[in-house]
Amino acid sequence: MKKIISTAILATLVLVIYPVAAQASMRCTNGIISGGETTFEVLHKCGEPDSKEKISPALGSDGKAMNESVTVENWVYGPSNGMYRMLKFIDGTLVKIESRRM
Protein backbone atom coordinates (compact mmCIF):
# COMPACT_ATOMS: atom_id res chain seq x y z
CA MET A 1 0.00 0.00 0.00
CA LYS A 2 2.82 2.40 0.90
CA LYS A 3 4.51 1.66 -2.44
CA ILE A 4 1.34 2.61 -4.35
CA ILE A 5 1.01 5.88 -2.42
CA SER A 6 4.71 6.68 -2.93
CA THR A 7 4.39 6.00 -6.66
CA ALA A 8 1.30 8.21 -6.89
CA ILE A 9 3.04 11.05 -5.06
CA LEU A 10 6.11 10.72 -7.29
CA ALA A 11 3.96 10.74 -10.44
CA THR A 12 2.12 13.85 -9.23
CA LEU A 13 5.39 15.64 -8.50
CA VAL A 14 6.74 14.79 -11.95
CA LEU A 15 3.61 16.22 -13.57
CA VAL A 16 3.85 19.40 -11.50
CA ILE A 17 7.57 19.90 -12.07
CA TYR A 18 7.49 19.08 -15.80
CA PRO A 19 4.17 20.39 -17.12
CA VAL A 20 3.17 19.43 -20.61
CA ALA A 21 2.87 22.55 -22.76
CA ALA A 22 -0.37 22.75 -24.71
CA GLN A 23 0.20 23.28 -28.41
CA ALA A 24 -2.00 26.02 -29.84
CA SER A 25 -3.68 25.38 -33.17
CA MET A 26 -5.97 27.25 -35.55
CA ARG A 27 -8.62 26.02 -37.96
CA CYS A 28 -8.40 27.44 -41.50
CA THR A 29 -10.29 26.92 -44.73
CA ASN A 30 -7.87 24.25 -45.98
CA GLY A 31 -6.84 22.57 -42.73
CA ILE A 32 -5.55 23.06 -39.22
CA ILE A 33 -2.24 24.78 -38.48
CA SER A 34 -0.03 24.44 -35.42
CA GLY A 35 3.46 25.35 -34.27
CA GLY A 36 6.35 24.24 -36.45
CA GLU A 37 4.64 24.86 -39.78
CA THR A 38 6.25 27.09 -42.40
CA THR A 39 4.88 30.34 -43.81
CA PHE A 40 4.25 28.45 -47.08
CA GLU A 41 2.12 25.81 -45.32
CA VAL A 42 0.15 28.44 -43.40
CA LEU A 43 -0.49 30.48 -46.56
CA HIS A 44 -1.73 27.33 -48.31
CA LYS A 45 -4.10 26.40 -45.48
CA CYS A 46 -5.25 29.87 -44.35
CA GLY A 47 -4.64 32.23 -47.27
CA GLU A 48 -3.16 35.72 -47.00
CA PRO A 49 -3.45 37.33 -43.56
CA ASP A 50 -5.35 40.59 -43.09
CA SER A 51 -2.12 42.26 -42.00
CA LYS A 52 1.58 41.39 -41.91
CA GLU A 53 4.60 42.86 -40.17
CA LYS A 54 8.13 41.74 -41.00
CA ILE A 55 11.08 42.59 -38.76
CA SER A 56 14.37 41.87 -40.51
CA PRO A 57 17.45 40.69 -38.65
CA ALA A 58 19.82 43.27 -37.18
CA LEU A 59 22.65 44.16 -39.56
CA GLY A 60 26.26 44.73 -38.63
CA SER A 61 28.45 47.54 -40.00
CA ASP A 62 29.36 45.26 -42.93
CA GLY A 63 25.68 45.02 -43.96
CA LYS A 64 25.41 41.33 -43.07
CA ALA A 65 23.03 39.85 -40.52
CA MET A 66 24.55 39.77 -37.06
CA ASN A 67 25.09 36.43 -35.32
CA GLU A 68 21.95 35.03 -33.69
CA SER A 69 19.74 37.60 -35.48
CA VAL A 70 16.47 36.28 -36.86
CA THR A 71 13.64 37.43 -39.09
CA VAL A 72 10.36 37.81 -37.18
CA GLU A 73 6.97 38.01 -38.90
CA ASN A 74 3.69 38.84 -37.18
CA TRP A 75 0.51 37.98 -39.06
CA VAL A 76 -3.06 38.86 -38.08
CA TYR A 77 -6.22 37.15 -39.31
CA GLY A 78 -9.58 38.73 -38.53
CA PRO A 79 -11.68 39.95 -37.09
CA SER A 80 -13.86 36.90 -37.51
CA ASN A 81 -16.86 37.00 -35.18
CA GLY A 82 -14.96 39.58 -33.13
CA MET A 83 -11.88 37.34 -32.75
CA TYR A 84 -8.39 38.21 -33.99
CA ARG A 85 -5.82 35.47 -34.48
CA MET A 86 -2.20 36.53 -34.23
CA LEU A 87 0.58 34.32 -35.58
CA LYS A 88 4.30 34.77 -34.95
CA PHE A 89 6.97 33.26 -37.18
CA ILE A 90 10.70 33.16 -36.52
CA ASP A 91 12.83 32.54 -39.60
CA GLY A 92 9.75 31.28 -41.46
CA THR A 93 8.57 28.81 -38.79
CA LEU A 94 5.35 29.27 -36.83
CA VAL A 95 6.16 29.58 -33.12
CA LYS A 96 3.04 31.17 -31.57
CA ILE A 97 -0.70 31.33 -32.18
CA GLU A 98 -2.74 33.68 -30.03
CA SER A 99 -6.47 34.46 -30.19
CA ARG A 100 -7.87 37.64 -28.74
CA ARG A 101 -11.13 39.59 -28.76
CA MET A 102 -10.63 43.29 -29.25
- Each domain of the chain, given as residue ranges in start order, spans 23-101
Instruction: Indicate whether 85 pLDDT > 50.
Output: yes
Reported pTM: 0.73
Instruction: Indicate whether 6 pLDDT > 60.
Output: no
**Residue that wins the pLDDT comparison between 6 and 38:** 38
Which residue(s) pair with 98 in the sheet? 86
The per-residue pLDDT for 72 is 96
CB-CB contact of 88 with 96 (8 Å): yes
Give 25-84 pLDDT, tens digit per residue.
999 999 999 999 999 999 999 999 999 999 988 888 888 888 888 999 999 999 999 999
Instruction: Give the torsion sign (CA, 8, 23, 88, 69).
Output: positive
Task: Let me know if domain 23-101 sits in CATH 2.120.10.
Answer: no
Instruction: Measure the CA–CA gap between 98 and 25, rounded to whole angstroms.
Output: 9
pLDDT band at 5 (very low <50, low <70, confident <90, very high): low
